[in-house]
Amino acid sequence: MHLDISTLETWLWNAACAIRGPLDAPKFKDYILPLIFLKRLSDVFEDELARLAEEYGNRDVAMRIVEDERDRGIIASSRGSVRFYIPENARWPSIRQQASGLGQYLTDAVRAVARENPRLQGVIDLADFNATTAGQRIVPDEYLARLVEVLSRHRLGLFDVEPDILGRAYEYLLRKFAEGQGQSAGEFYTPREVAVLMARILEPDPGMTVYDPCCGSGGLLIKCHLRLLETRGEQQNGHRRLPAEYAPLHLHGQEINPSTFAIARMNAVIHDMEADIRLGDTMRNPAFRDAAGRLTRFDLVTANPMWNQGFPLEVYENDPYERFGFGIPPSSSADWGWLQHMLASLNETGRMAVVLDTGAVSRGSGNQGSNRERDIRKAFVEHDLIEAVLLLPENLFYNTTAPGIILVINRRKRHPGEILLINASKLFAKGRPKNYLADEHIETIAGIYREWGYVGANNGSPDGRSPYAAVITNDEAARNDYNLSPSRYVATNGQEEVLPLEEAVVLLREAEEERAAADRELNAVLRTLGLDTEGNES
């Protein structure tokens, strides 16, 4: 019998509470997630052995087959009778029997799994369950024993829980950890419903390549995989799977933080999906390149980069991949640097959906003179790349109360010369500590995007246009100095647009940066005229 999502969530939160004493909530994930992952691997290994034993009539024969495949490297190459080889000391029954020295035993167990399975190196073996600080164990054995006993209450094998249900429970824990982690949480976790909405916007087809250059815990890639299962999958032996005639998505991600990279890899395996996740700094050293060193190009890109991230200008000026042809963004905000990297990673028919700060689509518009972000935005509009901008509600994200936008780029736009603007700022349900998009809100927003702003004649609008949407031409965007903020074009309750604090800070930084650049140019001119900075002869 399959476990349901509420049972799993309650169980996993009880596991978190088992080590609540010695650990702050943000640290829970470093100990709990690898153990849940190990238990899933162990239970699945036992199920696969049982299947082989039934096929060959004897468990000893089944074990000899698996050991032989292990010795010949067949399992390591993903062609074996089992997905991963779990050594004896790392199997859950052995762990439960450990009466003393549990911290060191668990550390040895996860490292043994990593040695046997190169795909799990740097994924399962980062945790040191025996770690100390100031000479004291961070998590004493008694707490670890309590955690192991809580996790032992349910099996996580092939016939006990559907991959997506376990994955959703895993993401429930990530969300709970994010609530405790505050400002840094947004670096690894995008709210589930925002990720679902982005997958609904992209609507991946079988066999497509999908890329997230700053993938965090992997949620955006996973939601694309699940959306394809939802639209093309069918029930097979209690699991929703793609029929043989459909190719799965080819998922690719890069993540700079080693512990978050490990979570992304675990998350993909727990969802029973293949994903090529690589560790590294995408902006300085993109991991996905072809044999000639050029960036790999994908069908779809989905991403939520850190908003208003600072990079020194030399990262853009000395770029060997020719990504920043539309202009160099200010050092105070990499939003349009990330967008140009992603555009360079799209193939000739590619599409992308990216979550950004609201200011990414409005900063610099209306200013006298040039503005780097506005000028890059102008180039995107003039090349007819921007398909839609969706304004999200406030207080959805864990690292800010600001609303954020989803920017949709399409190299082959459905409506050339037009941009769809959706103001979804009022489409949310109140939650604690964060607001959220309910299923009906996701359906409404996705429907507006799919139908290009039309939702039928029964919505109070004589022409069937959604009250949350407007369509403007590229020329109209130019007349508004390339301000693409949906609230500028789609009013809600007659409210004036208010500048968020984070937005004001970024604008101030940009103004200071522009003033410093102007001062440098002025001083250079004065020097050529033989004058000092005060205008006096030197």
pTM: 0.86
**pLDDT tens per residue, range 5-24:** 888 888 888 888 887 765 55
Q: Do 5-160 and 177-501 fold alike per CATH?
A: no
CATH code given to domain 5-160? 1.20.1260.30
Buried b (16+ CB within 10 A) or exposed e, 177-186: bbbebeeebb
- The model's confidence at residue 458, banded by pLDDT at 50, 70 and 90, is low
Q: Is the pLDDT of residue 419 over 60?
A: yes
Tell me what the pLDDT averaged over the chain comes to: 88
Instruction: Provide the CATH topology of domain 177-501.
Output: Rossmann fold (3.40.50)
∠ CA 318-322-323 to the nearest 5 degrees?
Answer: 100
For residue 455, the model assigns a pLDDT of: 76
Q: What is the rounded distance in angstroms from the CA atom of residue 59 to the CA atom of residue 67?
A: 12
Task: Kindly report the three-state secondary structure assignment for every residue of 481-521.
Answer: CCCCCHHHHCCCCCCCCCCCHHHHHHHHHHHHHHHHHHHHH
CA dist list (Å): 256 to 253, 277, 356, 400:
10, 11, 19, 21
Stronger pLDDT, 369 or 209, i.e. the higher one: 209
Lowest mean pLDDT across 69-73, 81-85, 184-188: 184-188
- Chain centre distance of CA 301: 11
**pLDDT tens per residue, range 273-328:** 889 999 999 999 999 999 999 999 999 999 999 988 889 999 999 899 999 999 99
For residue 461, the model assigns a pLDDT of: 60
**pLDDT tens per residue, range 502-515:** 555 665 666 666 66
Q: Is the pLDDT of residue 119 over 80?
A: yes
Within 10 Å of residue 60's Cβ, how many Cβ atoms? 9
For residue 226, the model assigns a pLDDT of: 94
- The model's confidence at residue 497, banded by pLDDT at 50, 70 and 90, is low
Question: What's the rounded mean pLDDT across residues 381-403?
Answer: 92
Q: Is the pLDDT of residue 376 over 60?
A: yes
**Structural domain boundaries in the chain:** 5-160, 177-501
> Which residue, among 143, 150, 209, has the nearest Cα to 10 in the 3D structure?
150
Cα dihedral sign, 522-523-529-534: positive
Lowest mean pLDDT across 122-126, 300-304, 350-354: 122-126
Count helices and strands (H / E) in the chain: 17, 13
- The model's confidence at residue 338, banded by pLDDT at 50, 70 and 90, is very high
DSSP state for residue 399 in the 8-state scheme? T
Question: What's the rounded mean pLDDT across residues 55-80?
Answer: 91
* φ, ψ for residue 239, nearest 5 deg: -120, 150
Lowest mean pLDDT across 25-29, 182-186, 296-300, 314-318: 182-186
The total number of residues shown for the chain amounts to 538
